[in-house]
Amino acid sequence: MFLKLINLCFLLNMVNGKSTQRTQNIFGNEISDVDKYLTMAESDVMSLISDESDLSILTESEEFPEPPPHTEVSRMSRYLCHHSDWLSMATISTRGPLTGYPFASVFSFSDGTKHKSSGIPYFYMTGMDMSSKDLEKNPKASVTMSLAQGPFCKKHGLDAEDPRCAHVVMAGEVVQVQPNSTEEIFAKEALFSRHPEMPEWPVDHGWYFAKLNISSIILLDFFGGAIDVDINEYYNTHP
């Protein structure tokens, strides 16, 4: 708790004089005309990182609240993004005999502290990772998050493949968060608060903060087939 308070104070001090900058892809090229929902305004980021309620200890019901009804597809998608701690990311492999094939790997991620949700998956990445090498050649990726991470599916006797054990697939491009920007401050707090071991990872690995710029969302949370989720509705919905 004490360390989190120190970290938050340090992050807030860093914000003075900063402004949100242009987004870059993972190999440094600027991306123009980024959708307004994909680059957070400084005021929005500040409101997400300044609430001291994020420092409170969560009860089990707060850690995994009941998911929304399956009919509320945008809210279910946000729920899955916010209450998941890891996901599976698929890239197009550039590694030896796997070249050209889809390559799936597990990533820890966060869309915000436990009490604040942006809907944007953020990552702490290194260029040494196999998926990162793929993304340098082709930044397109898809990620999957599942309700099976929490207690809901086990509680109701649902197999992870049961459509009622909801999962969402998000596709887009993985881009680097602009260094020293307000968004990087938000990404750091979002990730380190949910994954406190991250700051202890090897310092010589060239870690950087990245995010998925979402271009499409597909949700399967009930019988009858997957549903295309409207991105505008997704970003304007709370989990």
Tens-level pLDDT at each residue, the chain (239 residues): 444 443 444 343 443 333 333 344 444 444 433 344 444 434 454 455 444 444 434 444 557 899 999 999 999 999 999 999 999 999 999 999 999 999 999 999 999 999 999 999 999 999 999 999 999 999 999 999 999 999 999 999 999 999 999 999 999 999 999 999 999 999 999 999 999 999 999 999 999 999 999 999 999 999 999 999 999 999 999 88
What is the rounded CA–CA span in Å between residue 40 and residue 183? 7
Rounded to two decimals, what is the model's pTM?
0.77
Query: pLDDT tens for residues 76-90?
Result: 999 999 999 999 999
The residue count of the chain comes to: 239
- Cβ pair 211, 37 in contact under 8 A: no
CATH 2.30.110.10 correct for 2-50+71-235: yes
CB atoms within 10 A of CB 207: 17
Question: How confident is the model at residue 48, as a pLDDT?
Answer: 53
Question: How confident is the model at residue 63, as a pLDDT?
Answer: 72
Domain ranges of the chain: 2-50+71-235
What Cα–Cα distance (Å) separates residue 138 from each residue in 24, 88, 93, 213, 214? 14, 17, 9, 14, 15
Query: pLDDT tens for residues 25-41?
Result: 444 444 433 344 444 43
Question: How confident is the model at residue 207, as a pLDDT?
Answer: 98
Residue type, 79: Y
Question: How confident is the model at residue 62, as a pLDDT?
Answer: 59
